[in-house]
């Protein structure tokens, strides 16, 4: 249970039901020509440096930041099941390293159920952070801080 | 003793004792002695944490007669939730953008289909 709770605390999940057939959703999610249209936040552009959509192969996107640096997203696909599931490791440098992105697709007639999760960070990363004395109570501390901040806003 | 060079909100909350101090002070402002009463560690140790929290901009210390009253500065704490929030917001925005794009793509394709 401890582990499940912990996993839940480290996972961001977003579910959507998209009003489009699964083939189209899959294509938009996985093809470079489409990715460049939706990946970047408003006002930014994304460059797909590497995107060979195969298991064990690295992908890498970059976004130039206003200060001249680059925001890099990269990872390696570990699971690709066509029209079903994609799992990839991911780093978002300079902010986050060692997360796992899971995307699940489920056909529902002409619609598609889409479940996206980011597990961050991995157990290994967490242990590393614990050794540094950094992670200790981090999650719960943040929850508390958010509560504190909310109470101040009232 | 580790060398502590950074002075920002993230350093402030990196230590469990400091997090507890923040939590206590969030309820009400207190002087150093009252804060120290909540902990098993020495007063100088608490005093050191208070100093770091002040340098990080998390608490304000106000001289009231002989007392030094510590209180929270929530504005700077907000930076933490903003920092965490940006990751969730980023993905929510990105997936909204994905959804819009899928809808556009769908209508584009079906228009093409009709013309044929």
The ipTM is 0.73
List the structure tokens of A101: 């992105």
- Among the partner residues B80, B91, B97, nearest to A12 by beta-carbon distance: B91
Find the mean pLDDT for residues B102-115: 83
Distance from CA of B63 to the nearest CA of A (A): 23
pLDDT of residue B105: 95
Contact status, residue A44 vs residue A61, Cβ threshold 8 Å: no
Interchain proximity A38–B91, CB inside 8 Å: no
Dihedral class, residue A43 (left if φ above 0, else alpha if ψ from -120 to 50, else beta) = left
pLDDT of residue A122: 53
Q: Which residue of B has its CA nearest to A130?
A: B14
Distance from CA of B108 to the nearest CA of A (A): 12
Helix residue ranges, H only, B6-73: 9-12, 16-27, 32-36, 43-55
- Locate tokens 């504190």: which residue? A148
* Rounded distance between C-alpha atoms, residue A153 and residue B11, angstroms: 23
Whether chain B has a CB inside 8 Å of the CB on A7: the answer is no
* Rounded distance between C-alpha atoms, residue B89 and residue A31, angstroms: 24
Strand, coil or helix: B44: helix
**Neighboring chain A residues of B91 at a CB cutoff of 8 Å:** 12, 14, 116, 118
Interchain proximity B102–A20, CB inside 8 Å: yes
- Among the partner residues B26, B95, B106, nearest to A148 by beta-carbon distance: B26
Mean model confidence pLDDT for chain A: 78
Distance from CA of B48 to the nearest CA of A (A): 18
Residue among A95, A131, A103, A84 at smallest CA distance from A35: A103
Burial class (CB in 10 A: 0-12, 13-18, 19+), B108: exposed
* Rounded distance between C-alpha atoms, residue A146 and residue A140, angstroms: 10
Q: Is the peptide bond before A94 cis (omega within 30 degrees of 0)?
A: yes
Interchain proximity B19–A141, CB inside 8 Å: yes
Residue A59 has pLDDT above 80, yes or no: yes
- Among the partner residues A24, A39, A142, nearest to B94 by beta-carbon distance: A39
Q: Is the peptide bond before A121 cis (omega within 30 degrees of 0)?
A: yes
pLDDT bucket at A133, cuts 50 / 70 / 90: very low
Beta bridge partners of B104: none
Which one of B98, B100, B103, B113 would you mutate to disrupt binding with A, by most A Cβ within 10 Å of its Cβ? B98
pLDDT bucket at A123, cuts 50 / 70 / 90: low
Interchain proximity A28–B26, CB inside 8 Å: no
Whether chain B has a CB inside 8 Å of the CB on A43: the answer is no
Find the mean pLDDT for residues B30-34: 93
**Neighboring chain A residues of B80 at a CB cutoff of 8 Å:** 142, 145
Instruction: Please write the tens of the pLDDT for every residue from A27-54.
Output: 999 999 999 989 887 778 899 999 989 9
Q: Which residue of A has its CA nearest to B104?
A: A20
Residue A106 has pLDDT above 50, yes or no: yes
Instruction: Please write the tens of the pLDDT for every residue from B46-82.
Output: 999 999 999 999 999 999 888 889 999 888 887 777 7
Interchain proximity B84–A142, CB inside 8 Å: yes
């Amino acid at each position: 249970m401890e582990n499940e709770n912990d996993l839940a605390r480290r996972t961001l999940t977003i579910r959507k039901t998209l009003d489009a057939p699964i083939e189209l959703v899959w294509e938009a999610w996985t093809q470079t020509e489409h990715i460049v249209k939706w990946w970047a936040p408003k006002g930014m552009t994304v460059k797909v440096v590497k995107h060979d959509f195969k298991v064990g192969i690295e992908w890498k996107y970059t976004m130039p930041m206003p200060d001249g640096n680059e925001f890099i997203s990269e990872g390696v696909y570990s699971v690709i099941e066509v029209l079903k599931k994609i799992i990839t490791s991911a780093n978002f440098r300079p902010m986050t390293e060692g997360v796992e992105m899971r995307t699940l697709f489920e056909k529902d007639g002409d619609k598609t159920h889409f479940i996206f999760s980011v597990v961050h960070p991995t157990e290994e990363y967490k242990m590393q952070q614990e050794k540094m004395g950094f992670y200790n109570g981090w999650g719960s501390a943040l929850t508390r801080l958010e509560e504190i901040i909310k109470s101040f806003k009232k | 003793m580790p060398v502590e060079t950074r002075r920002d909100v993230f350093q402030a909350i990196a230590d469990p004792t400091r997090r507890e101090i923040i939590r206590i002070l969030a309820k009400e402002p207190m002087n150093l002695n009252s804060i120290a009463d909540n902990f098993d560690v020495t007063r100088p140790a608490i005093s050191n944490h208070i100093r770091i929290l002040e340098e990080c901009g998390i608490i304000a210390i106000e001289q009231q007669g002989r007392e030094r009253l510590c209180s929270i500065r929530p504005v700077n704490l907000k930076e933490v939730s903003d920092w965490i929030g940006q990751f969730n917001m980023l993905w929510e925005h990105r997936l909204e953008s994905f959804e819009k794009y899928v809808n556009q793509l769908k209508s584009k394709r079906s228009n093409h289909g009709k013309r044929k």
